[in-house]
């Protein structure tokens, strides 16, 4: 999917008015904030291990669409089509309830202080740390948006069919490097995806009527069984061989032709990204370092449009008062 020039333009010209983010933003106003988020995420992980992966994905889908402003969390209203039903999100994003539970706990401790946008950033970090990955300091102080845009999400978010060239182009528009792209794709070290996202690659890659030749034959057999033609496309498969553990297995799988999504395997197929895949497959520490850097950069994206601290992550405050 292409990024409309107008979307990018709005993002660029409004950067100047962005909030200043800093570590420990809530140290005085809500000292327990980060501990509360970590605790709620731990509870969610015990209840359902996959949920932390699902929540981690929110950072990507929020930050790429008009900045990290929790626009993703807004429900549709009669006047506004939100992002939850956008092409990449519908029947796919899940575990919204975890974020709502975190928000509830924070509102109890310090009402009206912690933004939903910052919750996504903290929760994504905690998901990775709790799954055995790196831990890092996040910069906070984001505001929540007053609107959301299904159209912008549709135009921006990449398809699972994407190749490395188009992914590089997309990430470049957000000042994210080739290294950032490969490292951030390593988020697929945890979680699952639907057969729906790989049917074309199993049975009709690029309209060829054949499977993607980059899939290792034994793995393809396994995927064909999981996702038969005419089967239930809501069935899910693991994004790597260790889907509950945040590690560099994802990159080892790509080297072996065992990437789940086309957008994953393409990172090894294309020469522009292959060296980073190889590097991360051999050196987990390099992966972790590059991943943290990428998450911090992605977390800096802002629309600069200003906003508020929502009381309820699903509705803007003015409408929360109406009901
Ligand atoms: C590089 C481009 C990317 C593409 C094309 C992509 C695409 C996808 C797709 C298609 C799914 C499965 C959806 C489904 O079948 O329902 C998925 C899952 C996931 N994505 Fe990505 N993704 C990308 C980058 C990222 C980034 C940057 C992050 C986070 C930093 C991320 C985090 C995740 C996670 C954690 C899951 C599993 C979620 C779950 O189990 O519920 N992805 N992605
Ligand atoms: C998959 O699940 C969604 C609800 O989560 C449903 O609307 C859709 O029809 C299902 N698709 C198939 C092919 O069963
Ligand atoms: C990559 O994908 C883009 C967009 O779909 C397409 O135009 C391009 O031809 C593809 N590149 C290669 C080398 O397949
Ligand atoms: C990318 O970096 C340039 C130069 O530092 C900056 O002006 C621009 O706002 C950045 N774009 C995005 C989307 O962050
Ligand atoms: C494969 O894709 C092509 C192009 O999108 C389409 O014309 C063709 O009907 C598809 N074949 C099958 C078997 O679905």
Tell me how far apart the terminal alpha carbons of the chain are, to the nearest angstrom: 37
The DSSP letter of residue 211 is -
pLDDT at 323 > cutoff 70: no
Contact 166, 158 (CB under 8 A): yes
Closest C-alpha among 286, 283, 224 to residue 252: 283
Q: Does 11 sit in the ligand 4 pocket, CB within 6 Å?
A: yes
By C-alpha distance, which of 112, 11, 106, 28 is closest to 65? 11
Q: Please write the tens of the pLDDT for every residue from 41-65.
A: 999 999 999 999 999 999 999 999 9
Q: Would you put residue 141 in left (φ > 0), alpha (ψ -120 to 50) or beta?
A: left
Do residues 51 and 45 touch, judged by C-beta distance below 8 A?
A: yes
The ligand minimizing its distance to the Cα of 158 is 1
SS3 221: helix
Radius of gyration of the chain (CA): 19
218-276 residue pLDDT tens: 999 999 999 999 999 999 999 999 999 999 999 999 999 999 999 999 999 999 999 99
Distance CA 227, CA 225 (A): 6
**Ligand 5 center–CA 214 separation, angstroms:** 19
Check if 317 has its Cβ closer than 6 Å to any atom of ligand 3: no
Give me the pLDDT at residue 19, please.
80
- Cα angle value 169/173/174 (rounded, 5°): 125
Output b/e per residue, 246-268; b: 16+ Cβ within 10 A.
bbbbbbbbbeebbbbbbbbbbbb
Atom number in ligand 3 closest to CA 206: 14
Q: Which domains does the chain have, with CATH numbers?
A: 5-157+301-317 (1.10.520.10), 164-296 (1.10.420.10)
Reported confidence tier of residue 129, pLDDT bands at 50, 70, 90: very high
Catalytic residue list: 61
Model confidence at 1: pLDDT above 60? no
CA angle 98/100/103 to nearest 5° reads 115
Give the tokens for residue 49: 């291990």
Kindly report, residue by residue over 104-114, the tens digit of the pLDDT. Answer: 999 999 999 99
């Amino acid at each position: 999917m292409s990024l409309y020039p107008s979307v990018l333009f709005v993002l660029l010209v409004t950067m100047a008015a962005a909030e200043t983010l800093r570590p420990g933003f809530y140290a005085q106003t809500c000292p327990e904030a980060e501990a509360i988020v970590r605790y709620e995420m731990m509870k969610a992980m015990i209840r359902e291990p996959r949920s932390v992966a699902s929540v981690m994905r929110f950072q990507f889908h929020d930050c790429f669409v008009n900045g990290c402003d929790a626009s993703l969390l807004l429900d549709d209203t009669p006047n506004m089509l939100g992002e939850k039903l956008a092409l990449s999100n519908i029947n796919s994003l899940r575990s919204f309830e975890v974020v709502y539970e975190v928000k509830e706990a924070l509102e109890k401790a310090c009402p009206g202080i912690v933004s939903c946008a910052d919750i996504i950033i903290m929760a994504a970090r905690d998901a990775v740390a709790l799954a055995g990955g790196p831990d890092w300091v996040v910069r906070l102080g984001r505001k929540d948006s007053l609107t959301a845009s299904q159209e912008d999400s549709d135009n921006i978010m990449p398809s699972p069919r994407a190749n490395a060239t188009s992914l590089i182009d997309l990430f470049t528009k957000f000042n994210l490097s080739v290294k950032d792209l490969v490292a951030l794709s390593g988020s697929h070290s945890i979680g699952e995806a639907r057969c729906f996202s790989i049917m074309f690659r199993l049975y009709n890659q690029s309209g060829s009527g054949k499977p993607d030749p980059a899939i290792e034959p034994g793995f393809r057999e396994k995927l064909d069984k999981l996702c038969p033609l005419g089967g239930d496309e809501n069935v899910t498969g693991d994004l790597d061989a260790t889907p509950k553990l945040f590690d560099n297995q994802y990159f080892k799988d790509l080297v072996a032709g065992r990437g789940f999504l086309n957008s994953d395997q393409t990172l090894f197929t294309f020469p522009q990204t292959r060296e980073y895949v190889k590097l991360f497959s051999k050196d987990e520490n390099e992966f972790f370092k590059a991943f943290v850097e990428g998450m911090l950069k992605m977390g800096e994206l802002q629309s600069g449009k200003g906003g508020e601290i929502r009381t309820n992550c699903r509705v803007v405050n003015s409408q929360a008062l109406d009901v």
